[in-house]
Structure 1
């Protein structure tokens, strides 16, 4: 059966590269041309058996113009580790003598370096910095620094070595574009034991210079906070991964650990799909899903320190002036929030998940903030049918409240029968009597609303993580609570909502 994949690279039929559809081409029937094809392919992949050339295919990316063999350029020239000078038949290519092959491989590199430098000086100035950046990110293995090439150019500043070739039949600027496109490609078999074969579309170094970009992609306010958080969790995570690889015999992942962390934060902050992230980071979908699931489990445990219930002394010391004047014993402001999710197939689960308030299947959680606006308690996610009172009773927040504390809630929390026996005072807006509010009740409602609005602002910060927006897939039900708590923990890294 003919091969669906290229014998040199990982391209396959019907794949699109730079807007062009990849086509597969059989080896030519002409003996002389076929021998040149086989000779060049064998120089790139010595481990491949090209004797069965009837079933072997070569993709269009290895020809001038990247449209397959043409009458003007019937010979493949563009390869991952080498670019040949000639793309058409001549006397030297039509023979298969070993002496001609050795002659081609033993070209004087110093002479060719001069010819390349005089042909295109822009390649030295613009291309070198890009290749240096690729090398600095360490997404290329040693194979890229020891490739055999027709021309070799050494960047004196970065000591980066890359292959350069000059095709007399193509304009110099076109040659530079083709070189850039082909340099980052590598043989898939050779890279199985290396790290990432090519640099991802985005890495941490691309966003670290701008706090706005870090906030946009990760939800963390600035570079300093990102580095502190990363240094706090990277060591135990790296040890966990190393022990897993040693004990289970797994192979190391291709992404750097900081880029795995960035990938997961982008998944939470931007709500990107796994297919999108796998394309951005040049990894398979299964690898991307494994990275996300592993990090979600890890972060849900190691970021729990960001959500902590402060003691009464700390709460009093950090109490804002507005609360000190009106509600000096306020310990927490409580509210519930809901997130849309897909409707489950089970009828019993449908009734548990359906929220009459939202008229949709939802997850429901309870949040509590201190007077400074920092989230100090978060419950697990429950089905949307649960009431505010039942959620308050089951989530366990009552165990944190002490006698003499005040708790601010809205009118849906009719929990005085739960808090009064413990000596906890409930701050709740007054209800209408005789169809109207008195002047004192209007003033009290306004005063409570002005202070309670901060819990709504805290909910907004959490919901800015787009993984929680829209309709969450029902497939995330097993990790929904962990994902929600991670988003809450990351939102606590932002400055307090209420100033002193």
Structure 2
């Protein structure tokens, strides 16, 4: 027990199944004449360890190092004979700087050290000094930099959160802060959503806390809202959105349909028809002078739809004005321009 440097405790206990590897015993510990199954002599003690001096283990390691040194010298001679050209890492730049001023290095300095050491031709292990293990903070920072690089290349909300112009272009919201406030308005119900066509068995438990079979959702509720807004705002095809997010077209369709139903249910509860006092307070000067009694400005609109297969539906939805099948609706806005009424299509 002293030689193997183990302390008896909760992590190590001696019983009839405890064994010591035969490589830790010298040849003197075995009888000279024995059968196929080797047995130790009485009072044999393991003495062959890497921390002991003058053992067979160190002798074998020295032998291996000599073989490696001889092979390395031969490789060096062959490289000199063929005249291979070594390239310098300093000629290439593997760093990228972003708008926040931070520099993220794609290839670590370990690659440069390795190439410099390999070009010198000294491949022996005699002068090898292991580098100090990085601390936990540096590893976390490296992972953060790699994740930042990854999301800078993917079409995700995190890529556009620092640009208000991009947020307005893809979603219609003025900034990422306003989009976040809108998402907070949808909380916490958006954490309990189940896709259209699936059965809700959560029993009031958020989806993230459920223990169910199969793969978990790859997108967060915030990212699913972003996909829905991009689909409604820019009219991108579902297959194109699926290719941008590396998901199937059917999965995008389920996300969009689920969120449209959810948003319609939440918006239905909002009273958008303002009172007369609110209209007068927000009325522009030109309306106060010429049309002071205006409550709302109404207009009909038509949205293009696919041609229905049934002939009755074709006649009901066909528009002689647009020369296309459309869905008609009545919209009212206040004098300041805010939507105050939307009729069923």
> If the TM-score is normalised by the length of the shorter chain, which range does it land in?
0.5 to 0.7
How far the C-alpha of 1:200 sits from its partner, in A, is 7.4
Asked if the contact 2:152/2:159 (under 8 Å) is kept, the reply is no
Gap change, CA 1:126 and 1:221, over 3 Å in 2 = closer
Superposed counterparts of 1:157-172, under 5 Å: 158-160=140-142
Task: Tell whether 2:168 aligns with 1:219.
Answer: no
Asked if the contact 1:200/1:280 (under 8 Å) is kept, the reply is no
Asked if the contact 2:94/2:105 (under 8 Å) is kept, the reply is no
- Provide the C-alpha distance between the structure 1 equivalents of 2:133 and 2:312, rounded to a whole number of angstroms: 69
Q: Could you list the per-position Cα deviations for residues 193-217 of structure 1 after superposition, in whole angstroms to 9, with x for gaps in the alignment?
A: xxxxx99721222112222111111
Gap change, CA 1:307 and 1:368, over 3 Å in 2 = farther
- TM-score of the superposed pair, with normalisation by structure 1: 0.38
Q: Which residue of 1 aligns with 2:232?
A: 268
Task: Tell whether 2:296 aligns with 1:332.
Answer: yes
How far the C-alpha of 1:309 sits from its partner, in A, is 0.3
- Relative contact order (alpha carbons < 8 A, sep ≥ 6): 1 or 2 greater? 1
Task: Tell whether 2:138 aligns with 1:156.
Answer: yes
Q: Which residue of 1 aligns with 2:84?
A: none
Of 144, 155, 163, which aligns to 1:210?
A: 163
Q: Could you list the per-position Cα deviations for residues 443-494 of structure 1 after superposition, in whole angstroms to 9, with x for gaps in the alignment?
A: xxxxxxxxxxxxxxxxxxxxxxxxxxxxxxxxxxxxxxxxxxxxxxxxxxxx
Gap change, CA 1:377 and 1:225, over 3 Å in 2 = same
Of 105, 125, 129, which aligns to 2:104?
A: 129
Of 184, 188, 193, which aligns to 1:235?
A: 188
Of 237, 240, 263, which aligns to 1:299?
A: 263
Q: Which residue of 2 aligns with 1:493?
A: none
Superposed counterparts of 1:20-31, under 5 Å: none
Structure 1: runs of 5+ lacking an equivalent: 1-117, 133-150, 163-179, 185-197, 382-500
Q: Which residue of 1 aligns with 2:329?
A: 365
Superposed counterparts of 1:67-86, under 5 Å: none
Q: Which residue of 2 aligns with 1:285?
A: 249
Q: Which residue of 1 aligns with 2:198?
A: none
Task: Tell whether 2:343 aligns with 1:343.
Answer: no
Q: Which residue of 2 aligns with 1:49?
A: none
- Provide the C-alpha distance between the structure 1 equivalents of 2:106 and 2:185, rounded to a whole number of angstroms: 32
Structure 2: runs of 5+ lacking an equivalent: 1-87, 98-102, 108-130, 195-201
Asked if the contact 1:335/1:366 (under 8 Å) is kept, the reply is yes
- TM-score of the superposed pair, with normalisation by structure 2: 0.53
Secondary structure (helix, strand or coil) at the match of 1:336 reads: strand
- Provide the C-alpha distance between the structure 1 equivalents of 2:275 and 2:285, rounded to a whole number of angstroms: 19
How far the C-alpha of 1:152 sits from its partner, in A, is 12
RMSD: 3.8
